[in-house]
Structures are given as C-alpha cells and as structure tokens.
C-alpha cells in the first residue's frame, strides 16, 4: 500500500468512499456534498491536502487536511473502502497526517467526530488526540466531540 497526495484521477474515489461512509453511519449534509463534489475548490486551493491509500491501483482509503487557519488544519473526510476496513488503512492515514503536520510545522491539528464511533475515538486517543470543548455552532450537525492533537 502506498500513501499518495491528491490527483484529479482520484476525485471520484474521494467522493464515493466518503458518501458511502456517511450514508452507512450517519447522513450526508449539504456541506458534505459541496466539498466532496469539488475537493479542489474547497480543500486544495485554499491550502489543504488530500491523501489516498492506494494498493494495486485501487483506492483503499482517503483523508483530507482542511486548512482552518495559518497553521491550523482539520482532519476530515476520512473514509476506508468497506472491504479494507479492519486492515489498519485508517490508522496508516492518521499516522501519515500527523507526520505531515509535524514536518510542515502545523501548530494545530484537530478533528470532529461522534462518540458513537467508539473504534474511531479509540484510535484518535491512541494517536495522541485529546478531547477539547466543542464550539457551538460546530461545522457538522452529526458531531458531538472535538479533539485536538497534542504536539508536545
């Protein structure tokens, strides 16, 4: 498996994987459709990043770093192909994001999630994320937890 940066060839996989994940676990918000339909406009051009886990030309998973400030990025739009779940694809993407953040001198790395996703919350904690107050309103109706990465 290789971890690679965004290329327009992967735009459809970014959309498809995320829509499948959202429909399986929650629902698709209008904001999700906008971002997923045009990731270059909403994520890449404003200074964000999208990464893909690819094996034998199949996209197994994806994650985005959405720029939210000069050195602040939100980990978002992480999704893994259903048949690749349980194979640590998400963990490899998470570690890649953390390493990328450190190498690029990010000052803040955070994410929004939902406490019903117990496996995901466990992984976030394992990789050094800590719960912080969730601002209101928050960007996602389905989110009930915010976590920051502890760089120290």
Q: 78-115: per-residue pLDDT in tens?
A: 999 999 988 999 999 999 999 999 999 999 999 999 99
Whether 70 is covered by a domain: the verdict is yes
Residues in the chain: 152
Does residue 137 carry a pLDDT above 90? Answer: no
| Residue 128 β-bridge partners | none
CB-based contact 90:123 (threshold 8 Å): yes
- Quote the number of domains for the chain: 1
Whether 124 is covered by a domain: the verdict is no
Whether 59 is covered by a domain: the verdict is yes
Whether 139 is covered by a domain: the verdict is no
61 lies in which domain range?
2-109
Section 117-146 average pLDDT: 90
CB-based contact 44:35 (threshold 8 Å): no
Picking from 140, 143, 150, 144, the residue whose alpha carbon sits closest to that of residue 29 is 140
Whether 102 is covered by a domain: the verdict is yes
Whether 145 is covered by a domain: the verdict is no
Give the pLDDT confidence of 37-53 residue by residue, as tens digits.
999 999 999 999 999 99
Whether 89 is covered by a domain: the verdict is yes
Which residues lie closer than 8 Å to 151 by C-beta, 6 or more apart? 101, 102, 106, 107, 109
Does residue 152 carry a pLDDT above 80? Answer: no
Helix (H, G, I), strand (E, B), or coil: what is residue 105?
coil
User: What pLDDT is recorded for position 140?
Assistant: 82
User: What pLDDT is recorded for position 136?
Assistant: 86
- CATH code where residue 23 lies: 3.40.630.30
User: What pLDDT is recorded for position 29?
Assistant: 86
Does residue 2 carry a pLDDT above 90? Answer: yes
């Amino acid at each position: 498996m290789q971890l690679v940066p965004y290329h327009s060839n992967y735009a459809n996989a970014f959309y498809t994987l995320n829509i499948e994940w959202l429909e399986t676990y929650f629902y698709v918000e209008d904001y999700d459709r906008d971002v997923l339909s045009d990731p270059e406009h909403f994520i890449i051009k404003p200074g964000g990043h999208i990464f893909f886990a690819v094996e034998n030309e199949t996209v197994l998973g994806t994650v985005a770093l959405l720029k939210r400030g000069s050195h602040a990025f939100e980990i978002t739009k992480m999704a893994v192909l259903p048949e690749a779940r349980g194979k640590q694809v998400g963990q490899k993407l998470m570690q890649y994001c953390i390493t990328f953040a450190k190498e690029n001198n990010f000052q803040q790395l955070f994410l929004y999630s939902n406490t019903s996703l117990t496996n995901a919350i466990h992984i976030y904690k394992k990789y050094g994320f800590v719960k912080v107050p969730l601002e209101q309103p928050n960007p996602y109706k389905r989110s009930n937890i915010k976590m920051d990465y502890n760089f120290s």
